[in-house]
A and B are shown apart, each in its own frame.
Chain A
Amino acid sequence: MRSGPALQSPWSVYLQIAPLSLVLLFFFVFPVALVILVSFFHYQMLVGMVPRFTSKNYVDLLSNPTTWALYLSTVKFTLIVLAITFVLGFWIAYFLVFHVRNLLVAIGLFLVCTVPFWTSNIIRMISWRPVLGKEGLINSGLIKVGLISHPLNWLLFSDFSVVVAYVHLFTLFMIVPIFNSMARIDKSLLEAAIDAGATRWGVVWDIVLPLSKTGIALGALFVVTLTMGDFFVVTVISGGLSGSATSEIYNDLQFLNYPRAAANAVILLIVVLMIAAAIFRLVDVRKELVR
């Protein structure tokens, strides 16, 4: 281990890390702390927040069956989306890493997948309408071919469309970490397995899958966080028909009931953190990110 150039003063490190630390402190740590604090405040109609400690917000929320129903619905969506994005993400990453022979082509195809990520989420979301709508492409196409006689109205403004939109937006977050993990697998391991008589499926199940564990965990973490924390996709695409945990928060915010919104936000955060902790237990995330 090298001890580094003998020219750096120890103070320069702290100077270098200061901007990041300050931003994180003011725009992450403080806000989260304040949200937690405010969740214990009292809300008075027409007055706003009153800094009087109360656990009423939590009691209200947790005893309200709607809250549970909404969280259940959100978790349901999240699990479905997680399953689909995992299957898609895994096989696409697998294809890019192990089936595409030319490295440049693989990188090119990878970029093709990632470019939509850099365009507006909202636009991508509303662009489903001409495709899934009653007069949209799919319905018109199916009618023309004669498979159906009336347009399917569950394609848009439904649970189905919500799942489609989430998969559309978030599969990339699965592909990237899994791609990263897979690319690091020593290809000679696979050759050795084949030499030893493993079937191609056996190779995937016994070698590729375990070695991609970290990437899968990271991807799962992202997808879960983004799905559970989303509110605009679910409201717009479902036309207000599906609820989510976040829609409750949204409503409270409309009425300026910050304390209860904050309490709900804290509950949401706790759920997400529990899932994150479970995932962090399975893999050493820091090693994976920094390597």
Chain B
Amino acid sequence: MNRPSASPSPGSGEIRLVNLTKTFGVTTAVDKIDLTIPHGSYCCLLGPSGCGKTTILRMIAGHETPTAGEIYIGSEMVVGKSPIARGTALMFQSYALFPHLTVLDNVAFSLKARKVGKDERRRQAEEMLRRVHLHALKDRMPAQLSGGQQQRVALARSLITNPRVLLLDEPLSALDEFLRLRMRSELKSLQSELGITFVHVTHTQPEAIALADMVVVMDQGRIDQAGSANVIFNRPKTPYVARFMGGQNVLTGTVVRTADGVLRLKGANGAQFEIPTNQAAPPQGFVVSFTVRRDHINLRKNLDNRAAAPNEVRGVVEATEYQGSYIKVFIDVGGGVFVANVSDRDFSADPVERGDAVVASWSAADTNILTSVDEGGAGEPYSDAAPATTIEGLEKG
């Protein structure tokens, strides 16, 4: 892969944030963050607006100065260094293409700043444009380009500086659905091709798990959980992460006892939960929250009023929502709403409708214990516009 000859970037693109804090007046935007992003990985900072993810990105980029803490790129501490000296490049949400320059001059800008001669920098810029397949547009003005084209120009402009870390601030938010999916795969292949570290800020959960080697879920200036997409999705640690990633039901119960590696909980309305665990047994009366994926729920009509078995809840169907390959069934379990994602085949075999009494069950292996207790209305649902997924009645039983 031919990179245009610019000054070589000093090796490693590993990013280490140590005790990083940023306050604006009385507001703390970023609160003592510790994070290590491996060299050459694709990392997504995920969270709602105001969680601090963009502030962290801008601090790594050098456009914002931390109030406290350190940032290491490679092994250098970079706080206080200019953006270009850090070997980072930031792609702005609005692309920030210079409106008075042609595409070619936009891309050549960093070379002009480095006092490269006119012919040489134009040559290098053209080469870069060829790589992003935009060479035909080199003499156009940014106002004449479509959103996707502008983004590629912005990419070319950033990459020509040969950064070791590429920072992207919600790059796909301004694009329509179809374009977004296409650009997503382009970004992913670009990253593997270049082999540099990408840090991508987004509030869209499916985007993050599609792209990232490492997902960092943030809330109010703190990291709730960082890990691979698989771990974050299947084994969320907190109710907030569970809700933000979506696709989970959060349930709560009180410890009855632990025996033979099985934790027994008592929930509301006589529900019993048995969760396999190899950790130390919490004391009796202790409140525990856990998650079960919505698509791991078996749903059947409650026709015979059998006695309750462990790992099931009973309720009445409130609503059903068609989602193509599956149907979302909202069930009122007497204190909150519980959702089962039933595949369309299973649903057509045994359809339910509003008002039906149902039993929702799952296997013990499909449960995931959370490290903090769900406080009910404390967190807002973030994913797929579901109503509050807490079962509020299931508290200290």
Contacts and interface: CB of A to CB of B under 8 A. Distances in A.
A6 B24 contact: no
Contacts of A5: 63
A6 B80 CA distance: 8
Nearest to B58: A2
A3 B82 contact: no
A1 interface: yes
Residue among A1, A2, A5, A6 having the largest count of chain B Cβ atoms under 10 Å:
A6
Contacts of A6: 62-63, 65, 80, 82
Interface string B197-214: 000000000000000000
Contacts of A1: 24
A180 B27 CA distance: 35
B64 interface: yes
A282 interface: no
A6 B63 CA distance: 7
Contacts of B82: 6-7
Contacts of B64: 2-3
Interface string B9-27: 0000000000000001000
Interface in B56-95: 62-65, 80, 82
Contacts, number: 13
B60 to A, nearest CB: 13
B350 to A, nearest CB: 47
Contacts of B80: 6
Nearest to B65: A6
Interface string A1-16: 1110111000000000
Nearest to B24: A1
Nearest to B27: A1
Interface string B289-316: 0000000000000000000000000000
B320 to A, nearest CB: 34
A7 B65 CA distance: 11
A166 B282 CA distance: 87
Contacts of A2: 63-64
Contacts of A3: 24, 64-65
B21 to A, nearest CB: 14
A173 to B, nearest CB: 32
13 contacts: A1-B24, A2-B63, A2-B64, A3-B24, A3-B64, A3-B65, A5-B63, A6-B62, A6-B63, A6-B65, A6-B80, A6-B82, A7-B82
Given A3-B24, A5-B63, 5 more contacts: A2-B63, A2-B64, A3-B64, A3-B65, A6-B80
Interface of B: 24, 62-65, 80, 82
Closest 9 CB pairs of A and B: A6-B65, A1-B24, A3-B64, A3-B65, A5-B63, A7-B82, A6-B62, A2-B64, A2-B63
